[in-house]
Amino acid sequence: MSTILTNKFRLHNAISFKEGFSEGPSKTDEVLSTNIYMSIGKVTEWNSNDIFSGADDLSSDDIIPDPLDTVQSEFQVWRNMIALKKIQPSDVSHVIPRVDWKYGTVYSQYGDNKTTLFLDIYTNPFYILTEDFNVYKCLFNNHGSASTVQPVSTTTNGVVKTDDGYVWKYMYTVSSVDAYKFVTPNFVPVKRIETDVVSVGSGCSTDSNHTEVQNNAVDGEINIVSRDLTFGDGSLGSGYIFKLGLSIDTNLIGLDQSGSEPRTYIKLSSNTLSTSNNYYNDASVYFPNPGTGKSEVVFQIDEYVYSSNEDQTIYIKGDQRNSFEIIGSELNVGVQILPTVIIEGDGTGVSVIPEMSDTTGTVSGVDKIKVINGGSGYTKSNVSFINASGYIGDVTSPKFNVAISPKGGHGFDAVRELGGFFIMINTKFNFDEYNITTNNDFRQVSLVRDPVDNNTNSLATENGYVQTKVISLQSEEPDQPFSNAVKDKKVQLSSDSKTNGIIVDVIQETLNEVTTKKVRVSNSNGNFEVGQTIQVIAEDGTILSQAVIQSIESEQVQPFSGDIVFIEQRNPVNRDKNQIEDIKIILEF
């Protein structure tokens, strides 16, 4: 028995995780939303004693230990913790690996049967980010050619063709708001717009474009039919009849109702065509520009009649006169006779023509297939060719593959189409907000799920918390004061060195004109009590600081009350009251 977890499973997990941040409370007022906080901690240098954090004899602030996933490592994160900040829905986004367009790069083209589509993003990417912060999906790479023209069009309907032969699908533009929060040298945000957006304000116009792309997507549309380069060394085939450079006057287009079914006739004159009746039967007649306000169109030839060099007639089934600008006077339009391309599948409406490999003659192979109308509803298809029925020479067929669009059509869901398995969380610790220390540094970042507020004894809901024990001082020894000169050092009871903690910082607060000095402590062991004397002792036994405990405030979140779901260990980040710590975390699902 063999099994596979598909990319949809990864997407499901990523989407569910992100959506959880936007869920509201239930009728019983139980919080259903994903209640996750980002925490910072670890004010002391990394060293070999940090065994629960994965340290070894070489660990230091320059050689960061790899975090562990154990019960003790989770406890240690809580011990190290100094502050938490709630992650808001706007702090979370799907992201994809950033692939900047680069001149001369061969980009992989989208394929509906590619198993490596999302595995080769860095080595063989199929999407790009341009200098205008537009994201495009590569639908056709011109048979493996280098990309030399950066796409710029932001058309929300159809595809974008560039002069280097590439065909792109414009997906969306990264807004300035999203760029500020979620663009990094390695990642770029991706999203699906769930509601219509009005183009008002910064970033809204780009979201409006994105919405139009989504709304204009066609489920089961065929955008690209490409030659299989693995078949016959990319064989073009041979022996296909075509005729270019023809022209007609639209006043020579009419309706023939002499038979059981109406047919449209097209009179040609002074064109060098076959003198044999029925020679071009089953081939196609293509009109690149059938008149003002009319789109290119192709029909299969039902019958070809040769009367003279000045009089040839092509019949096509049905009344097709509305496809042309017929104004009762001469309007010259171009005509091409081409092999018929048949795309059989479970959808409807696709219309294509071949582009011949040698346009100098009248017999050739097929280089490309141009899609005129992509149709809709296709989940499978195959390609075949019908030559002019009168040709009796040898014919070899090329092999072309149809790339069926993803469910919903190209551009319908950028997250699913571009592989949004990554989630970025961007949280900022701004200055000294929530009275979080700016007098020290931190080395550990974590995500905490469902911590409990110590004051309410229920799930934490505040936007920020200080996660240190706060010891207010009295009777401080004048020659042994507490100050930030002793931060990162161990503070302990004078009567019991086993009751101790690490000083995060020393602050002063004034209330009713009374100033109180406070020591904020992490990594607490044992129980400090009011009236006890605490000390900071140097390695040589000298007492550096000493005072009596006036009061004690517990950590604002109950220690060990929430699940640690992510740990990142890094070089020290120094905090300052005049700066913002912009922390970005990438989760891969």
Structure-token pair, residue 91: 């702090």
Q: What are the distances in angstroms from CA 392 to CA 241, 272, 284, 363, 389?
A: 10, 19, 17, 12, 8
Q: What are the distances in angstroms from CA 518 to CA 81, 283, 524?
A: 18, 90, 15
The pLDDT tens digits for 65-114 are: 999 999 999 999 999 999 999 999 999 999 999 999 999 999 999 999 99
- Give the separation between CA 181 and CA 427, rounded to whole angstroms: 9
* Inter-residue contact 265 to 396 (CB < 8 Å): no
Q: Which residues contact 178 (CB under 8 A, 6 or more apart)?
A: 93, 189, 191, 203
DSSP secondary structure of 218-282: -TT-EEEEEE-TTSTTT---B-EE-EEEEEEEGGGEEEE-SSSS-EEEEEE-S----SSTTTTTT
pLDDT score for 200:
44
* Inter-residue contact 210 to 196 (CB < 8 Å): no
pLDDT score for 201:
45
Q: Which residues contact 479 (CB under 8 A, 6 or more apart)?
A: none
* Closest to 188 (Cα-Cα) out of 265, 125, 272, 117: 125
Structure-token pair, residue 30: 């139980």
DSSP secondary structure of 386-439: E--TT--S--B---EEEEEPPTT-TTS-HHHHHT--EEEEEEEEETTGGG---S
Q: Are strands 363-364 and 240-241 parallel, antiparallel or unpaired?
A: antiparallel
Structure-token pair, residue 248: 């007609």
* Closest to 448 (Cα-Cα) out of 569, 575, 558: 558
pLDDT score for 511:
87
CA angle 537, 539, 542 (to 5 degrees): 45
Alpha helices, DSSP H, located in 111-260: 176-182, 204-216
pLDDT score for 198:
52
For the chain, give the percent of residues with pLDDT over 90.
Answer: 82
Residue 153: count other Cβ atoms within 10 Å of its Cβ.
14
- Give the separation between CA 577 and CA 589, rounded to whole angstroms: 36
Q: What are the distances in angstroms from CA 43 to CA 205, 353, 443, 574?
A: 44, 68, 7, 10
* Closest to 585 (Cα-Cα) out of 83, 19, 37, 71: 37
pLDDT score for 28:
45
* Inter-residue contact 308 to 324 (CB < 8 Å): no
Amino acid at 336: Q
- Give the separation between CA 240 and CA 226, rounded to whole angstroms: 18
- Give the separation between CA 267 and CA 314, rounded to whole angstroms: 7
Residue 114 is given by DSSP the state -
* Closest to 163 (Cα-Cα) out of 144, 150, 173, 176: 150
pLDDT score for 115:
87
Backbone angles phi, psi at 169, to 5 degrees: -115, 115
For 409, counting Cβ atoms within 10 Å of its Cβ (0-12 exposed, 13-18 middle, 19+ buried), the class is buried
> 411: phi > 0 → left, psi -120 to 50 → alpha, else beta; which?
left
3-state SS track over 13-75: HHHHHHHHCCCCCCCCCCCCCCCEEEEEECCCCCCCCCHHHCCCCCCCCCCCCCCCCCHHHHH
Q: Are strands 332-338 and 243-249 parallel, antiparallel or unpaired?
A: antiparallel
pLDDT along the chain (589 residues), means of 10: 92 92 55 81 97 97 97 98 97 97 97 88 93 97 96 96 97 96 97 71 70 96 94 89 87 89 88 90 94 92 92 94 76 88 96 94 93 96 95 93 95 97 97 96 97 96 97 93 95 94 96 92 96 95 95 97 96 96 96
